[in-house]
A and B are shown apart, each in its own frame.
Chain A
């Protein structure tokens, strides 16, 4: 279907709590330079660019692609920005994928970023809420994320302990990630004892606030070989949503993620995700979400996510490593995260992951999303 589209070059900044040496535009340029160099291309070789970043209010520049275009030397080219809350990076990759698959481009550069240090994250995200109906109670996305987790605790057994195991796994995995900046080792006890912020979400269940950018070059089958002999082909990619306030909205399963995965698995020939995937990278805005993804992606049946994490199967040395890169816990420049997860997964199947190469990884699953936890997508990559 369409033309094969592969990731043929990747680049990300060394994410940090705060970069005071580069503007947003300069941050984007760093990632772009790295991805182009990795793809053995110059900006002249690029047909189109997709810029993705979180909500405008994060960093006070409206339609920032119109500013960063200069910094990346893309004047005169096709440039468009897509945005989707936390899923912005993934949404950018999706838009880029369709530019290539639809024949509009042979090589598309997708660059995603956020410079969260510049703004007031929680407050600006609170404006997600309807100003008439609920905004005065908003506590960023943490308030409702914690509430939905609480609902899953009793019904599905997503205990604080299970989430703490996720947090500890990811934080410890991040230590090896050269691009992460949050690198303090933690134990499950540390997580459980950390300060409740929006209980049950506690301090160590929460990723850092980061400045960072990440870029990938997508290429058609025709030209991929100019960049690499081993592209990470996108075998399936989808992004689905649900209305945030529906009577039937399941707080247990992420239905948009389940729907997206069904579509993607069909396209990619996945019938047993637990067995077939060699590595998984997911975007966990809080540790509790990773448990929800295990079930919504079909890695385990509903109610068994706590067992899965406890079994060690999703550790690096387990049979279905999830977030060997450290996930969001190592670095969380929100709008870039979807692309960072794609980079981590792509380099796994390309055999060149810089954090921790999973031996013989050939099939990878990526998840990303945002909004009211109601915008969700996934992709399958293989080399």
Chain B
């Protein structure tokens, strides 16, 4: 029996804010689970399964999905917790529908990094005997990644600042991200050292938020959505744990994941019209862009701002990184850009690349291809 094609019916997102100080996790979750159905003619009763992405460590609760089942709309349904970025939850959901076991699924991802020390969340991922005690974590990984990249390609850290400023401006224009002041390149450079040579604004800014994506088998997607984006390729790969052991100038697992996805889609990066890419830092974003084949090695900066295709029209992860949800937000953004181009400057984009990442130094990577 042929595998079903899966489309994105609709998406919903809370505003992504540095701190949702007047809302709990369940409020953010139930808000998007309520909103995602609007205009589709579907309700939570039509959903066969829920896949949720969240982190016990960020939530401050073991088996945190268990306390949030009601808000997720998961009562008496099949629910699964993927303790990885929501894009992997979407991968799981697509497989369920393709298998024929289900026809409509809800993918939810959320976090409230404001409620705890995010450095500890990352440090706790690093193995506890050799690396954790010396203080190696996400920031150190990003700093070293940047030092190597800049040195290898003769790029100055000042050159990165303009890209960061662009991303923040895009986020401010996006309408779904809380941005008080849009930093210019000078403000980016002056934002204080986070992980030499990177300044704070050069690292992805953790924000609170939730996102929901409703996916369905092709026939239902076409019935309920005017111009659904279809998921035509998926790939994922995980790099070695030790950052020091990885290729310092290449996100090889992101390249592997992209190759898998492009094989499924039957096209490659040259054919894409837009891309939504995750990152833990500005250099991470450049490495991801290169790994996805959107620029040659070392040429990510040119590709990021002036390339032939639109990368991170949403602003990407740098201004807004709802940890555990960032990749799913990328999927939501890319689907909307394909399905409703009139809201994004017009044009006729047909193909998108979506990228999510997890782990210290972007150890784990996931790539989707979308088409209308």
Contacts and interface: CB of A to CB of B under 8 A. Distances in A.
Interface of A: 1-3, 23, 25, 55-57, 60-63, 65-67, 69-70, 74-85, 91, 94-95, 98-99, 101-104, 124-125, 127-131, 238-246, 255-256, 259-260, 370-372, 374-375
Closest 3 pairs between A and B when the two form their complex, measured CB to CB: A102-B95, A2-B99, A101-B99
A1 B1 contact: yes
B124 A374 contact: no
B237 interface: yes
Interface stretch (B155-163, B166-174, B192-200, B357-365): B357-365
B30 to A, nearest CB: 12
B67 interface: yes
Nearest to B93: A98
A23 B66 CA distance: 28
A104 B81 contact: no
A195 B121 CA distance: 39
B81 A102 contact: no
Interface string B108-124: 00000000000001001
A242 to B, nearest CB: 6
A60 B128 contact: yes
Contact of A242 (B69, B84, B238, B240): B69
B81 to A, nearest CB: 6
A374 B79 CA distance: 11
26 contacts: A56-B55, A56-B124, A61-B125, A62-B55, A62-B124, A62-B125, A66-B358, A66-B360, A66-B364, A76-B238, A77-B237, A95-B82, A98-B99, A98-B101, A101-B95, A102-B3, A129-B61, A130-B67, A238-B78, A240-B77, A242-B75, A243-B70, A244-B66, A245-B70, A259-B76, A371-B66
Contact of A98 (B95, B125, B260, B360): B95
Contacts of B84: 63, 80-81
Nearest to A372: B66
A83 B62 CA distance: 10
Contacts of B125: 61-63, 66-67
B66 A1 contact: no
B81 A69 contact: no
A56 B80 contact: no
A2 B70 CA distance: 29
A56 B64 CA distance: 11
Contacts of A243: 69-70, 74-75
Contact of B63 (A25, A61, A69, A128): A128
B56 A56 contact: yes
Nearest to A92: B80
Contacts of B98: 2, 101-104
A80 B61 contact: no
A104 B95 contact: yes
Interface string B244-280: 0000000011001000100000000000000000000
Given A62-B121, A76-B237, A239-B80, A375 B364 contact: no
A290 to B, nearest CB: 22
B128 A61 contact: yes
B40 interface: no
Contacts of A244: 66-67, 69
B88 A80 contact: yes
